């Protein structure tokens, strides 16, 4: 059953608009309430569908180029020196427009990627069976992926660290299989996604500190693979687990 106390705050939580204290409290509640977790997943999927629909009719660069050619074809063939300042101004505007279009395209690709990762993470949080292989032993989890994904990776040694490996499963991005590793630190769950670089397609994933809805993300590339660490834990925990993964890689 969905708790009415938290229902009105779900949208603000998913949009990253709740104060830190309330966001942490709601995050703790979602981990223990299957009804609210399921409602949260439903709203994430709805937001994603709206976002995708909003991008469906965005003009592409080819459309812009056709318009430019049509305008150019209608210009008089005879030019005078008075028209050169106009051409120069138009050229500047076109270059600025191309740069803006490229930046917007990169930004949309990054937003789409972060949205998909958040969906995968929330789906894991809301699932009653979040992993396909249950094990705290890295030597059990790594071989389990053999034949299930087209690459291999190394898992870190977690001894003397606050992190616990809960298990793993196969996740998909752009219909390409990758690894999702589930870690726990105190009462928080962290998802680590590993995909081949080519699986990202047109979606951007610059090596950076990023955010996805109300979650924080760390990402980097190594040997043709791209790693994503996503959770609502503090920055220090995310950075520490990221460093362990980088050292193992």
- The residue-averaged pLDDT of 217-228 equals 92
Measured CA distances, 200 to 57, 175, 213 (Å): 22, 10, 19
Region at 96 (left for phi over 0; alpha for psi -120 to 50; beta for the rest): alpha
Digit-coded pLDDT (tens) for 125-167: 888 888 899 988 988 999 999 999 999 999 999 989 999 999 9
Whether pTM exceeds 0.75: no
Asked whether residue 249 carries a pLDDT value surpassing 50, the answer given is yes
- The residue-averaged pLDDT of 12-20 equals 75
pLDDT for residue 16: 73
Confidence of residue 38 (pLDDT cuts 50, 70, 90): confident
Asked whether residue 110 carries a pLDDT value surpassing 90, the answer given is no
Digit-coded pLDDT (tens) for 170-181: 999 888 999 999
- CB contact at 8 A, 155 and 181: yes
pLDDT for residue 72: 67
Backbone angles phi, psi at 193, to 5 degrees: -105, 135
More confident residue, 102 or 75: 75
More confident residue, 108 or 243: 243
Q: What is the residue extent of each domain of the chain?
A: 1-57, 60-105
Exposed/middle/buried for residue 107 (C-beta within 10 Å: 0-12, 13-18, 19+): exposed
Asked whether residue 218 carries a pLDDT value surpassing 80, the answer given is yes
Query: Which of 155, 124, 112, 134 minimizes the C-alpha distance to 232?
Result: 124
């Amino acid at each position: 059953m969905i708790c009415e106390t938290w229902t009105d705050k779900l949208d603000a939580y998913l949009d990253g608009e709740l104060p830190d204290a309330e966001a942490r409290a709601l995050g703790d509640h979602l981990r223990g309430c299957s009804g609210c977790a399921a409602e949260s997943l439903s709203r994430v999927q709805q937001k994603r569908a709206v976002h995708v629909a909003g991008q469906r009719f965005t003009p592409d660069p080819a459309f812009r180029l056709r318009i430019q050619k049509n305008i150019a074809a209608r210009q008089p063939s005879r030019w005078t020196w008075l028209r050169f300042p106009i051409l120069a101004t138009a050229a500047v505007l076109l270059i600025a427009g191309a740069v803006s279009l490229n930046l917007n395209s990169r930004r949309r690709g990054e937003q789409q990627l972060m949205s998909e990762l958040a969906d995968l993470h929330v789906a894991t949080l809301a699932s009653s069976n979040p992993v396909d292989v249950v094990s705290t032993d890295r030597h059990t989890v790594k071989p389990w992926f053999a034949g299930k994904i087209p690459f291999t990776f190394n898992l870190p040694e977690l001894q003397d660290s606050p992190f616990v490996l809960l298990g793993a499963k196969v996740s998909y991005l752009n219909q390409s299989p990758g690894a999702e590793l589930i870690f726990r630190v105190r009462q928080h769950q962290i998802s680590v996604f590993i995909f081949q670089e080519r699986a990202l397609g047109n979606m951007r994933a610059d090596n950076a500190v990023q955010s996805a809805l109300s979650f924080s993300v760390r990402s980097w590339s190594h040997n043709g693979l791209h790693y994503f660490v996503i959770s609502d834990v503090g920055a220090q925990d995310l950075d520490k687990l990221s460093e362990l993964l980088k050292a193992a890689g």
